[in-house]
Amino acid sequence: MSQKVKFTNSNQTAFFATARKRVDAYFKEEGFSKNANSAMWMKGIFFLGGFVSLYLLIISNQFGPWVMLGLSVLIGAFAAFLGFNVCHDATHGSFAKSSKVNKALSRVFYMIGANPYLWNISHNIVHHTYTNIPGHDEDIEVAPGLIRLTHDEKVNKLHRYQHLYAFWLYGLASLMWVFRKDFKKFFQKNIGKHELKHPKREYYNLFISKFLYYFMFLILPMLVLDIAWWQVMVGFVVMHLSEGVVMGLIFQLAHVVEGTDFPLPNAEGNIEEAWAEHQLRTTANFAPDSALAGFLLGGLNRQIEHHLFPKVCHIHYPAISKIVKETAEEFNLPYITSPTFAAALKSHYRTLRMFGKEAYQEQIKVTALVA
């Protein structure tokens, strides 16, 4: 496989040129900025304020263990929502017009144990460019050997049951991120096929920010709370299980559902379609008409719009989605949508089953015929 994938079908670029022209015209005609409006700023304040308030309530030492356990579940969910609604837009440079404001807001990632520098590389650069391409997009490598999400990965006996255990593994996503993922990615030679060469300051940022996070969420609670150390550990794990379930499900429902593709480059290392069409074939929306999903998920339920227009703040996705959908239909291109969260969840379950149990059964049949 070549070091870099190229999208080679220039005949299909008319779709994106048309969609972009129409989206630009929408903002010009309405007189709107592509960045955050007052409603978006209120959302950001709500989730950041809620996260900080929950943390202060937990370490206030005013509640019993069971109440603090409930607060741990809530702060875990708020951590995910904070990442979706503030950090995600900020790292894309779409939250504010000012790059300094976006950089400052992207550092909120440190508060939830993540690293904005690595996120920018793995998500903005790699995932957004090489979406669902095996060997390039590490976001589809959820748990190598345990969860199979692509046709080129060998199927094993364990994969027969992945549609049953995958959802439990998603709960570990946040814990793995805080303790393993960032360190592993930082010291890899590449993320996907993107070669890494870190500025010296990022070494300090990684280790200092991780230490501060461990101090704030593990050491300080053990020092100030009138509960046993193991109870603090339980609360910490529960917080991350809550965050992990929310994160894992939302990210998977955007790219691993029925209808999405996992294309392989050809012999020359190219994807024989335009980049924008590739995004339509590998990305899906869900619950587009749900006001609750729109508020909580930071536009991640409208991944098609996000992948095509990552520099547009997600608060505008409901409006531009009409333009994108109509343009896709005009050019006879797919626009994959699940009407509800439940429908997307079922579709993801069936996809897990297809790549696991059904793939294994097909492998057994082929082996029997050859024998």
- Averaged over successive runs of 10 residues, the pLDDT of the chain (371 residues) comes to 68 86 97 96 97 97 94 97 97 96 97 96 93 88 84 89 93 94 94 91 97 97 95 97 94 94 86 92 96 95 97 97 97 96 96 92 78 59
Q: What is the model's pLDDT at position 153?
A: 86
Q: What is the model's pLDDT at position 257?
A: 95
Residue 108 lies in a domain: yes
| CB-CB contact of 8 with 272 (8 Å) | yes
Residue 112 lies in a domain: yes
CA distance to 62, 74, 75, 82, per residue, from 50 (Å): 18, 9, 8, 9
Q: Which domain holds residue 272?
A: 6-370
Q: Cα dihedral sign for 256, 261, 267, 269? A: negative
Global pTM reads: 0.92
Residue 129 lies in a domain: yes
CA distance to 54, 204, 247, 364, 370, per residue, from 115 (Å): 22, 12, 15, 43, 49
Q: Which residues contact 186 (CB under 8 A, 6 or more apart)?
A: 115, 118, 196, 198, 202, 206
User: Per the structure, how many domains does the chain have?
Assistant: 1
How far apart are the C-alpha atoms of 266 and 183, rounded to whole Å? 32
Q: Which residues contact 15 (CB under 8 A, 6 or more apart)?
A: 274, 276, 277, 327, 328, 331, 333
How far apart are the C-alpha atoms of 68 and 222, rounded to whole Å? 13
Residue 230 lies in a domain: yes
Q: How far apart are the first and last CA of the chain?
A: 32
How far apart are the C-alpha atoms of 5 and 263, rounded to whole Å? 11
Residue 67 lies in a domain: yes
| CB-CB contact of 173 with 239 (8 Å) | no
How far apart are the C-alpha atoms of 98 and 102, rounded to whole Å? 6
Residue 285 lies in a domain: yes
Tokens at residue 302, please?
Answer: 């409208």
| Angle in degrees, CA 217, 222, 228, rounded to 5 | 125
How far apart are the C-alpha atoms of 348 and 325, rounded to whole Å? 22
Going by C-alpha positions, the residue among 225, 239, 241 that lies closest to residue 72 is: 239
Residue 1 lies in a domain: no
How far apart are the C-alpha atoms of 89 and 40, rounded to whole Å? 11
| Angle in degrees, CA 349, 235, 87, rounded to 5 | 65
| CB-CB contact of 73 with 244 (8 Å) | no
Residue 160 lies in a domain: yes
Write out the H or E segment, with its range, that includes residue 198.
none
